[in-house]
A = this chain, B = another copy of it.
Amino acid sequence: MIGQRTTRQRRAIGQLMDELADFRSAQQIHQLLAQRGEDIGLATVYRTLGAMAASGEFDVLRTATGETLYRRCERQGHHHHLVCRSCGRTVEVQAAAFETLVASLSDETGFVDVSHTLELFGTCATCAEELATS
């Protein structure tokens, strides 16, 4: 926790994540780095993503198949993601009304420190069309 070193690997991962708009898995990121000529061990990618996510630099999301996806969190504030099942495109969703609803749960149930994970999946317009014509 005291010393964090700036290595070639961490720089490369940080830079790549800056350029990516959507959620990617550790494996995808490892592959993208390889395509750029960055020869980085898969284990290092996992370790680095995990560490950066833990420190709040990334949003984390789990797919229905058990993969962990990471993305640089751009907007501040709490929000959720609507992910296309087919192409992975992501839309950020802010639903103040929902947050309010969750907050009220605390009173109703007696539970404290109520946190939540909301994942939204759908098929985006483009993919829906493609699927319809096949």
Contact = CB atoms under 8 A, between A and B. Distances in A.
A123 B113 CA distance: 6
Given A101-B98, A117-B118, A117-B119, A84 B62 contact: no
A97 B93 contact: no
Contact of A117 (B101, B117, B124): B117
Contact of A101 (B95, B105, B122, B125): B95
B115 A121 contact: yes
- Contact residues on A (Cβ < 8 Å of other chain), bracket: 20 to 34
Given A64-B117, A113-B123, 14 more contacts: A66-B66, A84-B111, A93-B109, A95-B101, A97-B97, A105-B120, A109-B122, A110-B125, A111-B125, A112-B123, A114-B120, A116-B121, A117-B119, A118-B118
